[in-house]
Amino acid sequence: MYGRFTNSRPLWPHREAWGVTGSKEASFTDEDLLISARTVVRSCMEVREHENVLIVTDTETSRIARSIYEASSEATSRVLMMMMPELEEKGMEPPMPVADLMRRQDVIFLLTTKSMTHTRARSVASKEGARIASIPGVSPESFALGGFTADHNAMAAEITSLGPKLRRIREVRVTTDMGTDLRFQPGSQWVLEDTGICTRPGQVKNLPAGRVFVMPKGGNCPRENSH
């Protein structure tokens, strides 16, 4: 079976919504940010009234963080937002007061310019049972108009339903306008969990979501043509 799929149902926003077409006409309001924030808080994380919520942000991402704070405050009164200096690089540990607070939360939003997904602070918080949404380097425009506007429950169902089809694939071909022409045999272990739904203790999700993953079978991925 050849690895090609089409889907006529618009579960994900169109490409134009990501602001990658070169147009400078896209506009949004704080209300648009709040609508996306409510989707993240209610659909992705399912924040509950009794839960402690921590929002970690820096000066570059604070506008989005404020919308997450407002949406979270609609679900629970136990919300704290912490502003810290921008990290110098991905994976850099946050200041100790931030790491200490992360260990005591039920829900954490990592809204920082540089990713904190692969940090000890995040790992410890996960082991303590926090469920974490990592949302690094997202612009307000993308947050308001892009993948955060998706119907995540419908997307989760769609991704799950792809499993039987994906496991029947015997060959995948990747081509680009630059001349890449790559074929490989996929393994059988497709990962179908990048749905954006993060409701179990200890879970970590990178948002926006909507991908499927597979590793090629060992030694069968030659580069046929690439420029």
Handedness of CA 36, 40, 43, 47 (dihedral sign): negative
**Which pLDDT belongs to residue 83?**
96
pLDDT band per the 50, 70, 90 thresholds, residue 26: low
Q: What is the pLDDT of residues 87-99, one digit of tens each?
A: 999 999 999 999 9
**Least confident range of 151-155, 175-179, 187-191:** 187-191
Q: What is the pLDDT of residue 46?
A: 97
Give the pLDDT confidence score for residue 192 in this predicted structure: 79
The lowest-confidence range among 7-21, 37-51, 87-101 is: 7-21
- Ordered by where they begin, the domains of the chain are 28-219 (3.40.50)
Average pLDDT, the chain: 85
Q: Answer with the residue of higher pLDDT: 209 or 123.
A: 123
SS3 labels along the chain: CECCCCCCCCCCCCHHHHCCCCCCCCCCCHHHHHHHHHHHHHHHCCCCCCCCEEEEECCCCHHHHHHHHHHHHCCCCCEEEEECCCCCCCCCCCCHHHHHHHCCCCEEEEECCCCCCCCHHHHHHHHCCCEEEECCCCCHHHHHHCHHHCCHHHHHHHHHHCHHHHHCCCEEEEECCCCCEEEECECCCCEEEECCCCCCCCCEEECCCCEEECCECCCCCCEEECC
How many other CB atoms sit within 10 Å of the CB of residue 118?
11
**Mean pLDDT in residue range 37-58:** 97
Angle between helices 30-38 and 62-73 (to 10 degrees): 60
Of 16-20, 49-53, 76-80, 168-172, where does mean pLDDT reach its minimum? Answer: 16-20
What would the pLDDT profile of 101-154 be if each residue is shown by its tens digit? 999 999 999 999 999 999 999 999 999 999 999 999 999 999 999 989 888 888
Q: Do the beta carbons of residue 212 and residue 192 sit within 8 Å?
A: yes
Q: Give the pLDDT of residue 224.
A: 54
